[in-house]
Amino acid sequence: MPTSAEPAIIYFVRHGESHSNTENRIQGHSDSGLSARGIRQASKLAKKLSRSGIQKIICSDLGRAKNTAKIVAGQIGKKIHLNSSLREIHLGDWEGLTTDEVDQAYARGYQRWLKSPTKMKIPGAETVPQFHKRVRTVAESLFDQHPGGPTLVVTHGGVIASLLSYWLRADFDYVLLNLRVDNTSVTVVERNAFRHKIHCLNDVSHLSAKDLSRKNIFTER
């Protein structure tokens, strides 16, 4: 059993590319399956993590995260544990719409969101403070429950961005607009008695250039 003095290490991974990602469609809590490239990304991720000593796999209960986690679990032989608190931010009435449709229906709402995401008031959406509280609370609980070896958490880009803004003490808008969280990227974080230490950020070394999904729902880069 781990002791309180032992550091906890979590591999935070964004899900593989989904069909909605390829369509520039806003997902939030809505869902779609992995694209062919997303499946390929997850398979390469599984190979990368096969010798990482992962002891536990926890993932968002949304299909794009579950499907990614299943591919990794099949490679490393671990059971998947679902946690709905690891879901992406709920984006209310925008969910299921393409970015162009949002611009047409909400007075260039997506373009305004790109300039200052946290100031946009999206009808029916989860508030940013609610989102931060949800994901930061679950992340700390997962660090508390570490199994004596690395834990893999398969989640979403917005979740990882929220956590990065917390650990880096950086503005959330800045993180969303300036730091990449690519599909199946790996961000490794250690928590000890004193602090969080980021060992790597957005590691996509397992992907070739053709495997990278360069469109990002927050930045379009």
pLDDT in 10s for each residue of the chain, 221 residues: 444 568 899 999 999 999 999 999 999 999 889 999 999 999 999 999 999 999 999 999 999 999 999 999 999 999 999 999 999 999 999 999 999 999 999 999 999 988 888 999 999 999 999 999 999 999 999 999 987 899 999 999 999 999 999 999 999 999 998 999 999 999 999 999 889 999 999 999 999 999 998 665 554 43
> Please, what's the b/e burial string for 126-154 (b: 16 or more CB within 10 A of its CB; e: otherwise)?
bebeebbebbbebbeebbeebeeebbbbb
Domain membership of residue 42 (yes or no) is yes
For strands 186-191 and 56-59, give the pairing.
unpaired
Q: Could you list the active site residues?
A: 15, 88
Domain membership of residue 186 (yes or no) is yes
Domain membership of residue 220 (yes or no) is no
Domain membership of residue 102 (yes or no) is no
Q: Give the tokens for residue 161.
A: 């961005």
Domain membership of residue 174 (yes or no) is yes
* Predicted TM-score (pTM) of this structure: 0.93
- Which CATH number characterizes residue 73's domain? 3.40.50.1240
Q: Which domain holds residue 44?
A: 8-92+125-211
Domain membership of residue 168 (yes or no) is yes
Q: What is the CA radius of gyration of the chain?
A: 17
| Closest by CA position to 89, among listed 58, 120, 45 | 120
Each as own residue / partner, the long-range contacts of residues 97-104 (CB below 8 Å, 24 or more positions apart, any chain) are 97/25, 97/26, 98/23, 98/24, 98/25, 98/26, 99/24, 99/25, 99/26, 99/217, 99/220, 100/24, 102/26
Domain membership of residue 108 (yes or no) is no
Number of domains into which the chain is organized:
1
Domain membership of residue 219 (yes or no) is no
Q: How many CB atoms lie within 10 A of CB 203?
A: 17
